[in-house]
């Protein structure tokens, strides 16, 4: 037997009714459907960043590690919206790539300057001008 409860659009609920009842498990308890809808709606609310702890911008991989670790703890405690943690999780790898590139540039550029000076150029850009 099918549930006798009509849906919002007027069509019949297609779930099976409970044994000896007119309605399915969702519709047999009057407040159950409303409770489940309300619970789902709470996850869709707009998150307020007022409750977020302020962290200084990470300057190293260790700082990013600490931020991710703290975020994991807060998600598990229900203090941080998982969507925020997901955003952090996608930003951290990009941050680490940028950090790596900056480190390479800071290391390589002085070496290029030194090499250019050894070859008799004022700086590495002068060498490029002479080759063109």
Tokens of 52: 């977020």
Of the pLDDT bands very low, low, confident and very high (cuts 50, 70, 90), residue 118 is: confident
Of the pLDDT bands very low, low, confident and very high (cuts 50, 70, 90), residue 95 is: very high
Of the pLDDT bands very low, low, confident and very high (cuts 50, 70, 90), residue 26 is: confident
Give the pLDDT score at 79. 83
More confident residue, 124 or 54: 54
Give the pLDDT score at 40. 54
Does the pLDDT at position 113 exceed 90? no
Of the pLDDT bands very low, low, confident and very high (cuts 50, 70, 90), residue 3 is: confident
**Whole-structure pTM value:** 0.48
Residue with tokens 């290391």: 107
CB atoms within 10 A of CB 91: 14
Tokens of 48: 């307020």
Give the pLDDT score at 96. 93
Which DSSP category does 20 fall into? T
Give the pLDDT score at 86. 92
What's the Cα-to-Cα distance from 132 to each of 94, 114, 115, 116, 125, rounded to whole Å? 35, 21, 19, 16, 11
Of the pLDDT bands very low, low, confident and very high (cuts 50, 70, 90), residue 43 is: low
């Amino acid at each position: 037997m099918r549930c006798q409860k009509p849906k919002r659009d007027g069509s019949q609920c297609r779930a099976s009714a409970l044994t000896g009842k007119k309605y399915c498990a969702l519709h047999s308890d009057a407040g159950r459907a409303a409770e489940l809808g309300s619970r789902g709606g709470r996850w869709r609310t707009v998150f307020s960043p007022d409750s977020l702890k302020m962290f200084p911008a990470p300057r190293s991989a260790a700082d990013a590690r600490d931020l991710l670790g703290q975020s994991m703890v807060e998600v598990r405690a229900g203090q941080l919206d998982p969507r925020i943690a997901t955003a952090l999780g996608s930003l951290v790898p990009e941050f680490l790539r940028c950090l790596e590139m900056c480190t390479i540039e800071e290391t390589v550029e002085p070496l290029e300057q030194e090499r250019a000076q050894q070859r008799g150029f004022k700086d590495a850009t002068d060498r490029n001008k002479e080759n063109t």
